[in-house]
Amino acid sequence: MTTLLTGATGFVGSAVARTLLARGHRLRLLVRPGSDRSNIAGLQAELAEGDLTDPASLARAADGCETLFHVAADYRLWVPDPEAMMQANVAGTRALLLAAQSRGVERMVYCSSVAALGLVGDGSVADETTPVHADKIVGVYKRSKYLAEQAVLELVREHAMPVIIVNPSTPVGPRDIKPTPTGRMIRDAARGRMPAYVETGLNIVHVDDVAEGHVLALERGRIGERYILGGEDFALGDLFALVARGRPAGAAGETAAGAPVSGGAGLRGAGALRGGAGGDARDIGDGAQEDVLLQCEGPRRVGLCAAPGGGRGGRCGRLVRAAPMIALTALALAIWIYLLAGHGRFWQSGPVLPPAPSGLAGPPVTVVVPARNEAESIVACLRSLLAQDYAGPFRVILVDDLSSDGTGRLADAIEDPRLTIIRGAAHPPGWSGKLWALHQGIEAAGRASLLLLTDADIEHAPGHLASLVAKLESDRLDMVSEMVALHCASAAEHALVPPFVFFFQLLYPFAWVNDAGNPMAAAAGGTVLIRAEALAKAGGLGAMRGALIDDVTLARRVKATGRIWLGHSLLATSIRPYKSAADVWRMVARCAFVQLDYSPWLLAGTIAGMALIWVTPPLAAIFAGGAARFLGVLGWAAMTASYIPTLRRFGLAPGWALCLPGAALFYTAATAGSAVDHYRGRGVIWKQRAYHG
């Protein structure tokens, strides 16, 4: 009998391959080109290269085979592209079975998962017939296995497909080389790298028993039936504790005597089909160093105890008790209480620059616009500036900072006597590109009393300049700056741009910045109106020539001798789009490590703090129990409530608050990426220039 087997290079598939060879099957293994084949090295089997996304290769592989075992699957707890997993697990399964049927394959076994089965709400035992509620399936992998199983059952009904379905629980054992997510967790526990976990339960079964169950399903199973391949129930803490302690105790798969495959009765405890009622026939050494489940440091041999409360081994002590999780969630909640009550009301998403009366007169203003490769936005920016409804005299100076995309040519086409275009010179050593461009514009401004420094990707409402001047003069300020309305149209922008503003407010509470008695200083570089006298008193741009976070640096120098104001703008909009998450990543990574003064200690503290504040509450709310879950819910609620005003500013629904923990992880990763760039010698790269700290 020639049998086609998929997934043989993987964990479960390699065990199925060995069991089939032991039963006398002639094997043909479907393998992807370039795949790691160490799990099948030395096996007497024919290899057929192909892919689940290539129907022609599937038909060639199935040609001449009488039986099929489809074990291959994309098994990951998280994937950046869910569609790829769906294609492999759902569409790939359907394509393979149709190809096999077209080539005359007589009997097939599809390896599904208990993840595709239903659960009983009252905690009683579920079986193969328990109804599945699709809306309660959490996670891409589980949903993909459920949909794949539904596709298989549809083929059985409508195409008389001769398929039997098996549903393994959590296999463990040798040759988990990747390893699987379960194998990775247990390996980390064995190595002492599991500082905490969320208590839950899982059913453990030896991978060889799963393989045996596949073969029994082929030999005795009924077409269209499902069979659970399970072993022992464990509390996760008990399992981790046993692995970490290396306590000899018995082996996985010990169950009562199993029954042969028959209808819905299932393959309960495939291990018993090997060892009988007297226990598993394997030596406990089977779970030694080559076995991912029981991998421990040192020479000792270990095994796996019986289920919690069972006869052998008894109940194991927990590796990590509930107290640490309660402590973490309590600390996170305490931090959130402080942030909401005592951190400068950062969450209020204000203040907002008030509009000035139309036609307001004021002192002369020179607008300086540094531009490097801003062809997409420069015309809109300059026209909006030249259209300002400001009764006082003003002029606009554009500094074309060696653009290579035609920015200067586009600006030349705008005919207005108030517009001056300067061809910028190469920046001297020690100067950042933007500050050098601004410096050249300010030098050309002469004796201007007020300077508006604004980016080339910002479009200004007609009353913007007048409103800035009115705020500066009425409050007797030295500098006014705004967080302009950022572009927020794409899905990536919806998920990541409001958190950027939210985190900026958290880092620099505007109320503290605007309090003359508070040392906190910050600015948003998109629009900065500053008195020329205050800039000179701060040492001019030459005193901060190498600053990469130039807006905050300028604010600190000005506030040291004067008064500043920072708020939100309803009159200025950034027209620079962030079409993908990669665009946002580059924007953050260019200066995130600079913000931490290139300190690895501050980086480590930032990562730990972000994980505690943003990740711990939702994880505890979802996965923990008791007091830890209650505290996690409160912390997550506080986090969500603080974010709602920012979402309202962007006109987004409150549901986007669910993305905030993920956005926090994204920005944390971008900050780490900024550090990696620094240590690799890449420094800060922006506008095709590199700066090294």
Alpha helices in 300-358 (DSSP H): 322-342
Domains belonging to the chain, first-starting first, are 1-168 (3.40.50.720), 326-344+600-691 (no CATH), 351-577 (3.90.550.10)
Angstrom distances, CA of residue 184 to CA of 193, 232, 326, 578:
11, 19, 25, 36
pLDDT for the residue 77: 67
Tens of pLDDT, residue by residue over 98-132, are: 999 999 999 999 999 988 888 776 667 778 888 88
pLDDT the model gives residue 585: 87
pLDDT of residue 194: 67
Number of CB atoms found within 10 A of residue 495's CB: 20
Residue 347: the pLDDT is 92
Cβ contacts of 684-688, under 8 Å, gap ≥ 24? 684/548, 684/590, 684/591, 684/594, 685/590, 686/433, 686/590, 687/372, 687/373, 687/401, 687/433, 688/373
pLDDT recorded at residue 359: 64
pLDDT at 683: 54
**CA–CA distances in Å: residue 526 to residues 91, 167, 384, 431, 529:** 48, 57, 15, 19, 10
- As a residue count, the chain comes to 693
Per-residue model confidence as pLDDT tens digits over 298-322: 232 222 222 333 332 322 233 334 5
Q: Which residue numbers in the chain have pLDDT < 50?
A: 247-321, 689-693
**What is the pLDDT, as a whole number, of residue 616?**
94
* Whether 102 contacts 116, CB under 8 Å: no
Query: How confident is the model at residue 294, as a pLDDT?
Result: 26
Q: What is the DSSP string of 346-415?
A: GGG---BPPPPPTT---S-EEEEEEESS-TTTHHHHHHHHHT---SS-EEEEEEE-S-SSSHHHHHHT--
Where does 561-599 have alpha helices with state H?
Answer: 581-589, 592-595
pLDDT (0 to 100) of residue 506:
95
Neighbours of 191 (CB within 10 A): 13
Dihedral over Cα of 386, 390, 393, 397: its sign: negative
pLDDT score of 138: 75
pTM of the model: 0.56
